[in-house]
Amino acid sequence: MGYGAVAPSGYAPVAPGQDRPVIEQDSLPASETAAPITPEGLIGIDEVQRALNRSRASVYRYTNTDPRNLNPPFNPRKLNPEYRSDQKDPLLFHPNEVARFARDVLRIKEVTVEVLNSPSTATQQLLSSILDELRSIRSRLDAFEQGPTSLSAHRDTFEQSRPAA
């Protein structure tokens, strides 16, 4: 996938021909700089600054931005932000991209980025309750006896259970 396309949640943009493993958020090692994340798992410029131990100006200098192009193509020598839909949107970075930049460009040997899970939102709670409801429906369907396989047998079952009018 080239840069500029919307990356699925949990994935950092990857240059063509570049293979990079994606690390699950929960499996990232701990470090002294814990970065709070957005619901999409992205970190802001302040967290990048703390993680790289660089000044805010340096982080902006490293960032792949262009005033004429909102989402410039992937640049392996720059810190590539995630897709933005508006110039006023804040720069957000995937933790894997920050780790790649620190390792490959800044040549930092030990790269660790800790990602803290965000507190449960109303949307996550709603999706969780929907998932629980679907699981209960599935278990009831699985427990339900195998019904008639033909339409006529199914019709006969209903005709027997209904009293004649």
pLDDT tens for 26-61 read 333 334 334 455 557 889 999 999 889 999 999 999
Looking at the fold, whether 77 and 99 belong to one and the same domain comes out as yes
Other beta carbons within 10 Å of 154: 12
Residues 6+ apart with CB under 8 A from 49: 55, 56, 59
73: its two tokens? 């193509």
Looking at the fold, whether 102 and 64 belong to one and the same domain comes out as yes
The range of the structural domain enclosing residue 143 comes to: 122-161
- Residue 7 lies inside a defined structural domain of this protein: no
Q: What are phi and psi of 35, to 5 degrees?
A: -105, 120
Residue 109: predicted pLDDT:
81
- CA dist 6 to 10, 64, 80, 92, Å? 11, 16, 13, 13
- Residue 6 lies inside a defined structural domain of this protein: no
Determine which of 74-78, 81-85, 143-147 has the lowest per-residue pLDDT on average.
143-147
- Residue 62 lies inside a defined structural domain of this protein: yes
Looking at the fold, whether 129 and 78 belong to one and the same domain comes out as no
- Residue 3 lies inside a defined structural domain of this protein: no
The 3 state secondary structure assigned to the chain is: CCECECCCCCCCCCCCCCCCCCCCHHHCCCCCCEEECCCCCCECHHHHHHHHCCCHHHHHHHECCECCECCCCCCCCCECCCCCCCCCCCCCECHHHHHHHHHHCCCCCCCCCEEECCCCCHHHHHHHHHHHHHHHHHHHHHHCCCCCCCHHHHHHHHHHHCCCC
Residue 4: predicted pLDDT:
41
- Residue 145 lies inside a defined structural domain of this protein: yes
Look over the chain and give the mean of its residue pLDDT values, rounded to a whole number: 74
Looking at the fold, whether 108 and 35 belong to one and the same domain comes out as yes
